[in-house]
Amino acid sequence: MPAKKEPGDMSAFERKRLENIAANRAILTDISVTAKKIIPDKPKPAKAAAPKRKSRGEQIKREPSRPTRMSSRLAGLEADNETLKRKLEVEAENQAEVAKAKKLRVVGDLNLGDIAVEGKKWSAGLDSLKGIVRGAQPGVRTFTEDDIQETTDKSLKGLRLRMGGLKLYEHWLPNDIKITPQRVYALGFHPTEDKPIVFAGDKEGNMGVFDGSQKPPEVDDDENPTSDPEISAFKTHSRTITSFVFPPTDGNTVYSSSYDSSIRKMDLEKGTSIQVFAPSDIDTDMPISALDMAHSEPNMLYFSTLDGGVGRYDVRAPGSEEIWTLSEQKIGGFSLHPLQPHLIATASLDRTMKIWDTRKISGKGDLRHPALLGEHESRLSVSHASWSAAGHIATSSYDDTIKIYDFSDASSWKAGHDISAKAMQPKHKIHHNNQTGRWVTILKPQWQRRPHDGIQKFVIANMNRFVDVFASDGSQLAQLDGEGITAVPAVAHFHPTLDWVAGGNGSGKLCLWQ
Q: What percent of the chain is modeled with pLDDT above 90?
A: 62
Cα torsion through 455, 511, 141, 161, rounded to 10? 40
Q: What is the C-alpha to C-alpha distance for residues 255 and 275, in angstroms, rounded to an integer?
A: 10
Q: What is the C-alpha to C-alpha distance for residues 456 and 447, in angstroms, rounded to an integer?
A: 7
Q: What is the C-alpha to C-alpha distance for residues 478 and 496, in angstroms, rounded to an integer?
A: 18
Contact predicate 124/487, CB 8 Å: no
pLDDT digits (tens, 9 = 90+) for 495-511: 999 999 999 999 999 99
The whole model's pTM is what? 0.80
Q: What is the C-alpha to C-alpha distance for residues 146 and 156, in angstroms, rounded to an integer?
A: 14
Contacts of 25 (CB under 8 A, 6+ apart): 112, 113, 271
Q: What is the C-alpha to C-alpha distance for residues 33 and 499, in angstroms, rounded to an integer?
A: 23
Strand 253-258 to 263-267 pairing: antiparallel
pLDDT of residue 344: 98
Mean pLDDT of the chain: 84
Residue 462 or 108, more confident: 462
DSSP-based helix, strand, coil % in the chain, nearest 5: 15, 30, 55
What is the mean predicted confidence (pLDDT) over 324-338? 96
**Total number of residues shown for the chain:** 514
Q: What is the C-alpha to C-alpha distance for residues 377 and 425, in angstroms, rounded to an integer?
A: 9
Is residue 46 exposed (0-12), middle (13-18) or buried (19+ Cβ within 10 Å)?
A: exposed
pLDDT of residue 399: 97
pLDDT digits (tens, 9 = 90+) for 391-435: 999 999 999 999 999 999 999 999 999 999 999 999 999 999 999
Contact predicate 57/325, CB 8 Å: no
